Structure 1
Amino acid sequence: MIDPDSELEARYRSVTVTPDWYQTNIPCQVGCPAHTDVSTYIGLISQARFDEAYLLNRKANVVPGVLGRTCAKPCEPVCRRNKIDGKPISICWLKRAASDHREYRHHAECPPVTKDKKVAVVGAGSAGMACARDLRDMGYPVTIYEQYPTAGGVMVNGIPVWRLPRYVTTEECDEYMADIGVEIKYNTRVGRDIQISDLLKEYDSVYLAAGCYIPNALTGPDNKVIKGADLEGVLDGIRLLEKTNYGEPAFIGKRVAVLGSGFTAMDCSRTAVRFGAEKVYIMYRRSKEEAGSDEYEVDEAMFETVEFNYLVTQLEVTSKDGIHASGMRFIRNKLGDPDASGRRRPVPIPGTEFEIEVDTVVPAFGQYSDASWLQTEELGLEVNKWGVPLLDIDTWMTNHPGLFAGGDFTQGSRNLISAIGDGRDAAAAINRYLGGVDKPAEPAEEIELPDYRRGMVDDYESIPHQMLPSLPLKDRYSYTREAETGYTPEQAVIQARRCLQCQLNIMIDPSICILCSGCVDICPYDCISMEGLSRVVKADPLHEDAESWAGGADMIIDEEKCIRCGLCIVRCPTDAISMVQFEVASPNSRWTVSKIPVINVN
């Protein structure tokens, strides 16, 4: 395999193909923190094999129905389909389609207990459940301690029902954990009902995955708490979502200001609309380009009549009676130099103060971890300045033997799929600590796919991207009705066929290639070229030992452009070109490309 070298124009570097090369050549799988086998499950959906796609997803990311509605989609910006028409494969929404359109419930089999050492997990959120699931698969008995009456963590207490119906979380969190034999002690708060020191005595290992639930303070440009932050009508975003999700009384007035621009802010603003607010503002101190939520979330909020105001910072919550919020003062900003986050710092503009009339203020500036229950001194824990345990990032263990931690609790508030990846890494580390050994990865294989004819039977490169179907505006004023209706089975199959199937690779056998250039002529995206061997460099072209071939020619394939159409295979007169699927199963690194045919053939 030959890769273009970016340092020397029109020269190419000869490299040895390894499993690592194949894996990093699948950008969606690289971009996913849990390394989900995206290409394979999208291929299954393209054949309407929804049940198989669902089970493959559950193996990698534990809660596919949840993630199909709420994932942060780090895989989609790197999708190669972007280079064809500027629209990635709808990886997240297709994950939901696999969940929605499967035929069976798929109760999981309970793995046998084969280990004599026990593990406790604190928190039944995404990191805790991912860790518990993998440890159960390894044969460990696992008990989760959860302070809420349900499993799911932020999936239940932080994501609105109109985005994520509770039948989905009940099945994939509570029931799935019960199916595989994970015991969950609900309504049990570690630090109140039981101490970490007690868990360390009872269990051979403890994993802290308590989430990140303490809201950041309502501060102004000087980072000090602003006047009026304690007035009635001021309610932190994560607390508002928790109350409305669990059916507790929550005051939402007629005019609402939501402060912030992340996913929590979007959820709070759209929740306020559903609870009868007549005017909802999003107020954000930076510009739209620096906002924390994605374009789709912003568009949905705007469609639901939320008004966005950028480059403004809060100065004061005002009150007419000294008890209830009645308005809010802001100052306009301009953008200065980048700060530590890499985003341009908002700089207040003197003389631009203004006030809006509101009766509800919802700060949504993110959260930090509650470390007050950790018994830091008793356990001798090393912690950072916020009291959160320090970890050996290679082992996920604190300085106290057998006490592990991870997910948002130690890494900060992020997204579900990142926490799932953390939990799975921690499970592997805990297994090694308890004396377990990593299962060896299956040998990597290159499987030739005979009679590959995708380009002749499917005009997939011209299939347009379709947005996810959703309710019309008039039907969205319900807190319990899901706003997005999802793809139909037919729509899902069509959208899945847009996938380029990056786990497939064109191979040219140099022993029978006659350098006729037929493949060059027929390639629709000019990704195959014939180059003189003098441009092909063995080893690093910048290294003093680098060597070029003097004469002859070779065929160069640009993997970034290839759409896996197979036309070159049809054109080749000597059958020197083949389509190969790379297959590997590596249970400990979470890298997997499944041995399932996922292509369209004649």
Structure 2
Amino acid sequence: MIDPDSELEPRYRSIATTPDWYQTNIPCQVGCPAHTDVSTYIGLISQARFDEAYLLNRKANVVPGVLGRTCARPCEPVCRRNKIDGKPIAICWLKRAAADHREYRHHAQRPPVTKDKKVAIIGAGSAGLACARDLREMGYPVTMYEQYPTGGGVMVNGIPVWRLPREVTREECDEYMEDIGVEVQYNTRVGRDVKLSQLLKDYDAVFIAAGCYIPNAMTGPDNKVIPGANLKGVEDGIRLLEKTNYGEPAFIGKKVAVLGAGFTAMDCCRTAIRFGAEKVYVMYRRSQEEQPSDEYEVDEAKLEHVEFQYLVTQKEVLTNDGTHVSGIRFIRNKLGDPDASGRRRPIAIEGSEFDVDVDTVIPAFGQYSDTTWLEAEELGLEVNKWGVPLIGYDDWMTSHPGLFAGGDYTQGARNLISAIGDGRDIAAAINRYLGGVDKPAESAEEVELPDYRRGMVDNYESIPFELIPSLPLHDRYSNTRETESGFTPEQAVIQARRCLQCQLNIMIDPSICILCSGCVDICPYDCISMEGLSRVVKGDPMHKGTENWRGGADMIIDEEKCIRCGLCIVRCPTDAISMVQFEVSSPNDRWSVSKIPMLNVR
């Protein structure tokens, strides 16, 4: 028989289903810097197994209750559920649900000290906490030096209480470290209370995880500091949040302009509303499409009556008395070619200046790292033009042996989960430097799930996405009451059932497949097709020896479309199709798909 597809262009190439392929085929886990086993913990929540889901999260990302409220959610844009109804799984909010609805506190068991080498960590923020936890589990004694009275770093001094209650940070940043035996020297600033050079003498390895806390200057279109930047009523965003979070006096007037449109800007504009501001503007130099904040954050700010103005750049802070802010002058922009960030560069439009009447100006342009305490010259540190230590990205070590650096301190201000990922990588690098070895990864397994019938018993495909419940507008005007109330247990279970469980995969046994095309007919998303051999790219290793065949067919599975319904398994007359779960555990490279049965898909 002549191949009916012989006149069509080859378009398919087979691949070997190695552990690497399975891992990259779970897009949410690939997208997470800490490689959290998302599909498994979502599956656990779908069965109301909140405690197990919480512990699985804590294993990967250390502070699940915090991240369930504040994560930047890089996992969600790549979620395959988007292909069904344009809405990803609420991965972040479900992480919070696991923390909120667990039955037990789950004090961690203290790992024994089995190593004779000591490690110091400067900074008890995201990167420092993650590194400390992993090193303690490896058996190292760890001491952290933290300049603030609590652990958490930006979780406490930069994220408002109305987003992140302090009982959550106390449990996951302070009490958790105490549980696992990390010694924390609070109110201790390296460079003031103890020298970096002294730590290098006292410890076998030192990790700088000091974060970014120095605000960038308030500059204008010419990149020079604008007139009036030091007037009373100008308060840098990160400093304002620190004051309001620690209960220090902070001035927020009745008319406020927040400059910038990132996460700090969103926290500042909404904090201003909670402190009684009557009119709040967010002024951003680029377009709405290019603002760093996600759509949900912006929508919440608009709901609270924050006004957004785009394509404007500040030129001067105005004053009537020479001391206090009375307004701010802007110039309108148009967008030019992309700059180094990949976004289109704002270009000022001559003659388009306008003034806004305000009494408070809050610049929120990001932060940079304090390097004044490094003793770089004395230690012979190689640094960049800003004084930040240069590191090797294979080992995270500076030019000084035993001194490591990472997180936002070297990478710039980003988000909590990225810093956590760095911290875990650095813990493994420190272990190798101190003579430890990586634990070998367990071999990957394909475990068949018998009697898989999800598409016949569950309506998961039609469950709509739901926003996290929040307080009504009239109840939001408090700096201490959490604005988002969170999913109920019932809502969390339903939202978790939307997950397609991408760690599951359809397998077809070619030795018993009769090419009847029944699976093709029943597949609701046309992800299975039968194609002639001529459509496979020439030289494909899986088809060696078939180059001269005149007929024959391949069963093609499009993983991007598959929703794991299992209808093809039910339809197959020869039981050639099965659903398998990929299982692997690799402790040191942080990849893990847990061996937990997914009862919700049976």
CA distance in 2, matches of 1:74, 1:414: 12
- 2:300 corresponding residue in structure 1: 300
Q: 2:77 — aligned with what?
A: 77
Alpha-carbon distance between aligned partners in 2 of 1:546 and 1:404, rounded to the nearest angstrom: 54
- Bigger shift: residues 8-17 or 262-271: 8-17
Relative distance call for 1:12 and 1:354 in structure 2 (3 A) is same
Conserved? CA contact 1:396–1:406, under 8 Å:
yes
1:55 has 2:55 as partner: yes
Once the two structures are TM-superposed, the CA of residue 549 in structure 1 deviates from its matched residue by: 5.4
Measure the CA separation in 2 of the matches of 1:55 and 1:128: 20
Q: AA paired with 2:109?
A: E
Q: In structure 1, the residue corresponding to 2:175 is in which secondary structure?
A: helix
Instruction: Give the CA deviation at 1:351.
Output: 1.2
Give yes or no for contact 2:9–2:535 (8 Å, CA) kept in 1: no
Q: Assess, with a 3 A threshold, how the Cα gap between structure 1 residues 237 and 516 changes in structure 2: closer, same or farther.
A: same
Matched with 2:467 is 467
**SS of residue paired to 2:355:** strand
Q: Helix, strand or coil for the counterpart of 1:333? A: strand
**TM-score, reference length from structure 2:** 0.97
- State whether residues 118 and 205 of structure 1, in contact with CA within 8 Å, keep that contact through their aligned partners in structure 2: yes
- Specify the SS of the correspondent of 1:362: strand
For 2:389 and 2:471, the matched residues in 1 are separated by: 44
Q: Secondary structure at the match of 2:537?
A: strand
Residue 268 (structure 2) pairs with residue 268 (structure 1):
yes
- Corresponding residue number in structure 1 for 2:334: 334
Is 1:277 equivalent to 2:277 in the alignment?
A: yes
How far has the Cα of 1:539 moved from its partner? 4.7
User: What is the distance in 2 between the residues matched to 1:9 and 1:469?
Assistant: 50
Partners of 2:366 and 2:545 lie apart in 1 by: 53
> 1:108-147: CA deviations, max 9, x gaps?
0000000010000000000000000000000000000000
Q: Provide the secondary structure at the position in 2 that maps to 1:531.
A: strand
Aligned-pair distance for 1:402? 0.3
**Within 1, Cα distance between the matches of 2:310 and 2:221?**
15
Aligned to 1:486: 486
The residue identity in structure 1 corresponding to 2:424 is R
Following the alignment from structure 1 to structure 2, what is the Cα–Cα distance between the partners of residues 549 and 207? Answer: 61
Who is 1:190 aligned against?
190
| Gap change, CA 1:520 and 1:114, over 3 Å in 2 | same
| Separation in 2, partners of 1:176, 1:450 | 39
Letter in 2 for 1:40: T
Give the SS at the match of 1:335. Answer: strand
Task: Tell me the distance in 1 between the aligned counterparts of 2:279 and 2:431.
Answer: 53
Q: Aligned partners of 1:166, 1:91: CA distance in 2, in Å?
A: 22
Query: Does the CA-based 8 Å contact 1:14-1:538 persist in structure 2?
Result: no
Mapping for residues 195-344 of structure 1, pairs under 5 Å: 195-344=195-344
1:540–1:546 contact (8 Å) kept in structure 2: no
Residues 521-536 of structure 1 mapped to structure 2, 5 A cutoff: 521-536=521-536
Q: Distance in 1 between matches of 2:275 and 2:113?
A: 47
The amino acid of 2:93's aligned partner reads W
Q: 1:147 to 1:524 in 2, by over 3 A?
A: same
2:403 partner amino acid: L
Counterpart secondary structure, 1:258: strand
SS in 1 for 2:325: coil
Question: Superposition pairs for residues 93-112 of structure 1, below 5 Å?
Answer: 93-112=93-112
Cross-structure match for 2:172 = 172
Displacement after TM superposition at 1:554 (Å) = 1.6
User: Secondary structure, in 3 states, of the residue corresponding to 2:296?
Assistant: helix
Q: Which residue type is aligned with residue 129 of structure 1?
A: L
Give 1:562's aligned residue.
562
- Does the Cα contact within 8 Å between 1:536 and 1:549 map onto a contact in 2? no
Does structure 1 retain, via aligned residues, the 8 Å contact 2:93–2:468?
yes
CA contact (8 A) 1:534 1:548 kept: no
Deviations 1:488-529 (A, max 9, x none): 000000000000000000000011111111111110000001
Whether the 8 Å contact between 1:126 and 1:423 is mirrored in structure 2 is yes
Report how far residue 536 of structure 1 moved: 2.2
Report Cα offsets for 1:319-347 as digits up to 9, x if no partner. Answer: 01000001000011111111111100111
Partners of 1:167 and 1:548 lie apart in 2 by 69
Matched, 1:519 2:483: no
State percent identity of aligned pairs: 84
2:71–2:416 Cα contact (<8 Å) kept = yes
Cα distance in 2, alignment partners of residues 528 and 333 from structure 1: 50
Question: What corresponds to 1:3 in structure 2?
Answer: none
Q: How far apart are the structure 2 equivalents of 1:549 and 1:393? A: 50
* Distance in 1 (alpha carbons) for counterparts of 2:352 and 2:546: 62
- Once the two structures are TM-superposed, the CA of residue 537 in structure 1 deviates from its matched residue by 3.4
Which position in structure 2 is the counterpart of 1:18? 18
State the match for 1:400 in structure 2. 400
Query: What are the ranges of 5 or more consecutive residues in structure 2 without an aligned counterpart?
Result: 1-7
Aligned counterpart, 2:114: 114
Render the CA deviation track for 1:193-243: whole Å, top value 9, x for unaligned. 001110011100000000000000010000000000000000000000000
Task: Flag as ranges the 4+ runs of structure 1 deviating above 3 A.
Answer: 537-541, 544-550
* Post-superposition offset of 1:419: 0.1
Give the aligned partner of residue 580 of structure 2. 580
- Aligned residues of 1:119 and 1:205 also touching (Cα < 8 A): yes
* Structure 1: 5+ residue stretches without partners: 1-7
Q: Report if the CA contact (8 A) 2:10-2:537 is conserved.
A: no
In the TM superposition, residue 538 of structure 1 has moved relative to its aligned partner by 6.1
1:11 to partner: Cα distance: 2.4
Asked if the contact 1:532/1:551 (under 8 Å) is kept, the reply is yes
CA distance in 1 between counterparts of 2:28 and 2:589 reads 16
Is contact 1:269–1:306 with CA below 8 Å preserved after alignment?
A: yes
C-alpha separation between the residues in 2 aligned to 1:299 and 1:49?
32
User: Would you say how many aligned residue pairs link Structure 1 and Structure 2?
Assistant: 593
Give the match's secondary structure for 2:313: strand
- Matched-pair contact (CA < 8 Å) for 1:536–1:548: no
For 2:244 and 2:73, the matched residues in 1 are separated by 26
What does 1:99-178 align with in structure 2 at a 5 Å threshold?
99-178=99-178
Moved more, 154-163 or 15-24: 15-24
Alignment check: 8 A CA contact 2:158 2:242 kept: yes
Q: CA offset at residue 548 of structure 1?
A: 7.3
Structure 1 position 30 matched with structure 2 position 33? no
How far apart are the structure 2 equivalents of 1:485 and 1:190? 38
Contact conserved, 2:156 with 2:169, CA < 8 A, in 1?
Answer: yes
Distance 1:129 1:78 in 2: 27
Counterpart amino acid of residue 586 in structure 2: S
Report if aligned partners of 2:54, 2:99 keep a CA contact under 8 Å in 1: yes
Alignment CA distance shift 1:117-1:131 (3 Å)? same
Report the CA distance between 1:16 and its aligned residue. 1.5
> Distance in 2 between the 1:40 and 1:532 partners?
37
Instruction: Give the SS at the match of 2:530.
Output: strand
Q: Deviations over 1:543-598 (max 9, x none)?
A: x9995754211211000000000000001111110000000011111100000012
Looking at structure 2, the residues matched to 549 and 470 of structure 1 have their Cα atoms a distance apart, in angstroms, of 63
User: How many Å apart are 1:350 and its aligned residue?
Assistant: 1.0
Q: Deviations over 1:261-282 (max 9, x none)?
A: 0000000000000000000000
8 Å Cα contact 1:147/1:187 also seen in 2: yes
1:510 counterpart residue number = 510
Describe the SS at the equivalent of 2:483. coil
Change (3 A) 1:547 1:414: farther
Q: Deviations over 1:18-53 (max 9, x none)?
A: 100000000000000000000000000000000000
Whether the 8 Å contact between 2:143 and 2:183 is mirrored in structure 1 is yes
CA contact (8 A) 2:257 2:362 kept: yes
Displacement of 1:535: 1.8
* Alpha carbons of structure 1 residues 461 and 369: separation in structure 2 relative to 1, 3 Å: same
One-letter amino acid of the structure 2 residue matched with residue 393 of structure 1: Y
